[in-house]
Amino acid sequence: MKITDIRATTVSVPLEAPLRHANGCHWGRFVRTIVEIETDTGLIGLGEMGGGGESAVATVHAMKAYLVGRDPARLEEMRFLLANPTASLYNNRTQVVAALEFACLDILGQAWGVPVSEILGGRVRDRVTFASYLFFRYAAADGTGTVRTIDQLVAHARKLKATHGFTTHKLKGGVFPPDYDLECYRAVAAALPGDRVRFDPNAVWTTEQAIRFGRAIEDLNNDYLEDPVFGLTGMRHAREKLRLPLATNTVVVNFEQLAANVLNRAVDVILLDTTFWGGIRPCVKAAAICETFQLGVAVHSSGELGIQLATMLHLGAVVPNLSFAADAHYHHLVDDIIDGGKLPYENGAIRVPDAPGLGVRLDRKKLATYAELYRQLGPYAYDQDPARPGWAPLVPNDRWADPTDGREPFRG
Ligand code: MG
């Protein structure tokens, strides 16, 4: 089998409401680039990548020169061809390799008549459990959806639990001052007794703030505290002073960093992202290393549509030491570009697709609709807060948003 063409289409898919985070905001939509690899057998494989609110079409198309005429089964060779560890110092293509790996695995699964999870060693579970992933939000254009006050946050968490069945709740903080985050997090935990909770301020605190916050939540039903500070050294320092696990999706995102963390532990739980790690297979390899060294494993979300969600499901299906609920932004989306619409949650979990390959196919009509929406709206600045023009967040940050500021930059 040979690759004959690679296509990329950028789409803009609406969110229920704009999602605020420590570095800015998702401006009411996800911008994703859908990758299709065509082969001489007629099979088409699907991949997906993000890119901070921007299109990645040009980057993907530039890969045609490397891949047309090659065998989609030679995934290790592709990794070295596109992301040789020394040559790629000039052109970090990890995310592109990930999207192309998804598409090649999708082709192989279809060609062999098996789901991707079987190529990866076989399932140990048929459903992957997810956390609720709570964000502070601005209102959508219709004026609904704001999450800023504690009451709004608790109501939002309760509604998500009632709708999707979540029993683990992740709060994305780092937007407001740490004391306000603490109040909010404790309120969510108190409102949902018996459920698990986790908190992620996107690495914007000082080590001292991280220690203060970590000690103030010790009595809660925490999975872990995620990226309270940036850097392995800062995490190590915080971990020495805390009695709850620390997790990361920022400072252990490749094998070199994983080795450093094994030799001198700074983080307890590694959040594996099929994009950041360069594909599903590197995540499976990393999970095996974590199993050996008794590190926890969970699945990270970098803002997915259905294709990437399928990669997260197949990963979650095959990793025996998946010790926590997975993260997904998915329930914030109002639609998807896959056939049949959004994959449904059942009791806080999503079924791993059974059809060959990734098990999801493109809805071409929706792809065209949301590609047109991208053409109309263009990219957005993921690392800017539309309510605070000129704002430049630092790491560690002290330029917090004001929880009493009710400005709504998106309301029509
Ligand atoms: Mg995180």
What confidence tens digit (pLDDT) does each residue in 30-59 have? 999 999 999 999 999 999 999 788 999 999
Q: Which CATH architecture has domain 3-113+365-377?
A: 2-Layer Sandwich (3.30)
Q: Which amino acid, residue 213?
A: F
Catalytic residue among 21, 172, 329, 332: 172
Cβ neighbourhood burial of 407 (10 Å; 0-12, 13-18, 19+): exposed
pLDDT at 56 (0 to 100): 95
Q: Which residues contact 407 (CB under 8 A, 6 or more apart)?
A: 387
Cα–Cα distance for residue pair 203/367, rounded to 1 Å: 34
Each residue's pLDDT tens digit, 270-321: 999 999 999 999 999 999 999 999 999 999 999 999 999 999 999 999 999 9
Determine the distance separating the centroid of ligand 1 and the alpha carbon of 261, expressed in angstroms. 17
Q: Which residues contact 351 (CB under 8 A, 6 or more apart)?
A: 126, 127, 313, 343
User: Can you list the alpha helix ranges (DSSP code H) found in 192-297?
Assistant: 207-216, 232-241, 255-263, 280-292
Determine the distance separating the centroid of ligand 1 and the alpha carbon of 302, expressed in angstroms. 9
Determine the distance separating the centroid of ligand 1 and the alpha carbon of 173, expressed in angstroms. 10
Determine the distance separating the centroid of ligand 1 and the alpha carbon of 202, expressed in angstroms. 6
Each residue's pLDDT tens digit, 220-256: 999 999 999 999 999 999 999 999 999 999 999 999 9
Determine the distance separating the centroid of ligand 1 and the alpha carbon of 410, expressed in angstroms. 25
pLDDT range class, residue 130, cuts 50, 70, 90: very high
Q: Which CATH architecture has domain 119-362?
A: Alpha-Beta Barrel (3.20)
Residues of the chain with CATH 3.20.20.120: 119-362
Q: What is the pTM of this model?
A: 0.97
Tell me whether residue 172 is one of the annotated catalytic residues: yes
Residues of the chain with CATH 3.30.390.10: 3-113+365-377
pLDDT at 91 (0 to 100): 85
Determine the distance separating the centroid of ligand 1 and the alpha carbon of 354, expressed in angstroms. 29
Determine the distance separating the centroid of ligand 1 and the alpha carbon of 225, expressed in angstroms. 10
pLDDT range class, residue 90, cuts 50, 70, 90: confident
* The two structure tokens encoding residue 33: 């680039």
Tell me whether residue 285 is one of the annotated catalytic residues: no
E strands, 15-72, where? 19-21, 24-26, 29-39, 44-49
Catalytic residue among 21, 26, 300, 329: 300
